[in-house]
């Protein structure tokens, strides 16, 4: 267990939250791009800018016409506290690496949303004292990067914590109020009947606080799904849940509903191909859904070797594809036709030398490196006998081919 520690007193947090609009204006004045249409933020696929062998955002934009990226993930510090970090380790306040990625995207006419939470890790809703102090922490992210959009990814283990979800939903409402025009999405786990018990409790919390985001999105994967038909069925069921929870009619529920898929092989061995994405895209557009996104651009490329040994990777899809095939479905959702000509390919970097081969008997601590399966890997924490790449949520970060 990590110690829980409040970052701000309630009075200080309210002061910061109330200053949100002024802060956002200042952030925009410092160089943020003009906002894109909400449809682009709704179509933005997830990109880890500091982990999982980050691809070139500029190359993806050139190849597909994509304009918006969902950068992941902002978490509480690994050591506890109520200040925003990237992945629990890199303070947002001192960040330059992610800012550089954002600058590159904006220089090409694009923009970003930032996703907070995700699977695993410690979330700010768990460590901040209340909704106001949670909102104050997120306001730092909005202000620093001049954001026009933000995503609350509420899942394991946070969404099982009633107080944490109350803080997150309350923070989302404060940010929505203090940053006029801010596009807010809320993403949670999907099940075959729409979403599970904890997802339904999260919706009830939103209802009790009078909070309505641009959309509530479910992730119909890692739960016994089998292709697009099972996913569209889950979206239909989730629409009924939204209707019954908020008293919306079907059309209003679809206008506040989103899909967040996983391209290629999921963590539980499900496979979602380009054809599956097209089917779900057709469903989303024909029902006037608000959002269509996926996890992740880091995985939107073919593995080497192509079958990748039948494992799920954070850096490739484990299905046959051309690079950025899945990103093109996001572009289509935004209402743009992807380029048909093949752009000049970005030169492939010369592979680095392989580190010492991984050993099942060796003990590795944070930042230790080893090679396995033709890639170099870096340990995120203490580990022994955990195969690199066995799960994208495991103890190893893929540093790319060697």
The predicted-structure confidence for 74-132, as pLDDT tens digits, reads as follows: 999 999 999 999 999 999 999 999 999 999 999 999 999 999 999 989 999 999 999 99
Exactly one of 155, 158, 168, 399 is catalytic; which is it? 155
Instruction: Examine the pLDDT at 25 and tell me if it is beyond 70.
Output: no
Rounded CA Rg of the chain: 20
Q: What is the DSSP letter of 308?
A: G
The predicted-structure confidence for 26-40, as pLDDT tens digits, reads as follows: 334 334 568 999 999
Local confidence band at 392 (pLDDT 50, 70, 90 cut-offs):
low
Average pLDDT over residues 347-368: 78
Instruction: Examine the pLDDT at 17 and tell me if it is beyond 90.
Output: no
Q: Where do the domains of the chain lie?
A: 10-333, 363-401
pLDDT for res 32: 53
3 state SS of 93: helix
CATH 3.20.20.80 fits 10-333, yes or no: yes
Q: Report the C-alpha gap between 233 and 30 in whole angstroms.
A: 45
pLDDT for res 309: 57
Q: Report the C-alpha gap between 367 and 380 in whole angstroms.
A: 6
Instruction: Examine the pLDDT at 263 and tell me if it is beyond 90.
Output: yes
pLDDT for res 5: 23
Q: Is 155 marked active-site?
A: yes
Number of other residues whose CB lies within 10 A of the CB of residue 381: 11
- Asked if residue 198 lies in contact with residue 189, where contact means CB atoms within 8 angstroms, the answer is yes
> Which range is least confidently modeled, 27-36, 102-111, 220-229, 322-331?
27-36
Residues 6+ apart with CB under 8 A from 102: 71, 112, 145
The 10 Å CB-count burial string (b at 16+, else e) for 341-378 is: eeeeeeeeeeeeeebeebeeeeebeeebbbbbbebbbb
Q: What is the DSSP letter of 33?
A: P
Q: For residue 200, what are its two tokens?
A: 């339904």
- Asked if residue 53 lies in contact with residue 343, where contact means CB atoms within 8 angstroms, the answer is no
pLDDT for res 341: 60
> Which range is least confidently modeled, 168-182, 252-266, 334-348?
334-348
- Compute the mean pLDDT over every residue in the chain, rounded to the nearest whole number: 88
pLDDT for res 181: 97
Q: Which residues pair with 71 in a beta bridge?
A: 47, 114
Local confidence band at 399 (pLDDT 50, 70, 90 cut-offs):
confident
Q: Which helix (H) or strand (E) holds 264?
A: strand 264-265
3 state SS of 329: helix
- Asked if residue 188 lies in contact with residue 194, where contact means CB atoms within 8 angstroms, the answer is no
For 363-401, which CATH class?
Answer: mainly beta
Instruction: Examine the pLDDT at 307 and tell me if it is beyond 60.
Output: yes
- In 3D, which of 125, 204, 129, 131 has the Cα closest to residue 157? 125
The predicted-structure confidence for 140-173, as pLDDT tens digits, reads as follows: 999 999 999 999 999 988 999 999 999 999 999 9
pLDDT for res 310: 73
Instruction: Compute CA distances 84 → 20, 69, 119, 363, 385, whole Å.
Output: 16, 19, 16, 30, 32
Local confidence band at 293 (pLDDT 50, 70, 90 cut-offs):
very high
Q: What percent of the chain lies above the pLDDT cut of 70? A: 87
3 state SS of 346: coil
Q: What percent of the chain lies above the pLDDT cut of 90? A: 73
Average pLDDT over residues 186-213: 97
Residues 6+ apart with CB under 8 A from 29: none
């Amino acid at each position: 267990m990590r110690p829980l520690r409040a970052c701000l007193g309630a009075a200080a947090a309210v002061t910061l939250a109330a200053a949100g609009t002024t802060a956002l204006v200042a952030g925009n004045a410092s160089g943020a791009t003009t906002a894109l249409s909400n449809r682009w933020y709704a179509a933005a696929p997830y990109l880890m800018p500091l982990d999982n062998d980050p691809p070139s955002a500029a190359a993806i934009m050139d190849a597909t016409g994509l304009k918006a990226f969902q950068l992941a993930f902002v978490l509480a510090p690994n050591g506890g506290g109520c200040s925003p970090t990237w992945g629990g380790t890199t303070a947002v306040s001192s960040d330059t690496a992610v800012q550089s990625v954002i600058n590159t995207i904006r220089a090409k006419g694009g923009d970003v949303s930032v996703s907070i939470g995700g699977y695993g890790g410690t979330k700010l809703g768990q460590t901040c004292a209340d909704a106001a102090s949670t909102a104050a922490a997120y306001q730092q992210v909005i202000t620093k990067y001049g954001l026009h959009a933000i995503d609350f990814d509420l899942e394991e283990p946070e969404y099982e914590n009633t107080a944490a979800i109350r803080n997150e939903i309350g923070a989302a409402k404060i940010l929505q109020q203090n940053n006029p025009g801010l596009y807010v999405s809320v993403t949670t786990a999907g099940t075959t009947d729409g979403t599970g018990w904890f997802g339904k409790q999260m919706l009830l919390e939103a209802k009790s606080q009078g909070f309505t985001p641009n959309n509530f999105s479910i992730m119909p994967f890692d739960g016994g799904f089998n292709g697009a038909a099972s996913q569209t069925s889950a979206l239909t069921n989730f629409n009924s849940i939204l209707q019954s929870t908020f008293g919306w009619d079907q059309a209003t529920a679809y206008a506040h509903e989103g899909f967040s898929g996983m391209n290629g092989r999921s963590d539980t061995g499900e496979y979602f191909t380009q054809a599956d994405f097209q089917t779900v895209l057709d469903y989303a557009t024909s029902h006037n859904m608000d959002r269509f996104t996926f996890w992740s651009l880091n995985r939107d490329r073919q593995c080497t070797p192509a079958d990748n040994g039948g494992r799920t990777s954070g850096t490739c899809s484990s299905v046959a594809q051309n690079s950025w095939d899945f990103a093109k479905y996001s572009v289509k959702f935004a209402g743009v036709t992807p380029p048909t000509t093949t752009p000049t390919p970005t030169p492939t970097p010369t592979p680095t030398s392989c580190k010492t081969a991984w050993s099942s008997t060796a003990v590795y601590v944070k930042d230790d490196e080893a090679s396995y399966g033709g890639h170099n890997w870096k340990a995120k924490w203490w580990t022994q006998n955990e195969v690199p790449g066995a799960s994208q949520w495991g103890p190893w970060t893929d540093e790319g081919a060697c």
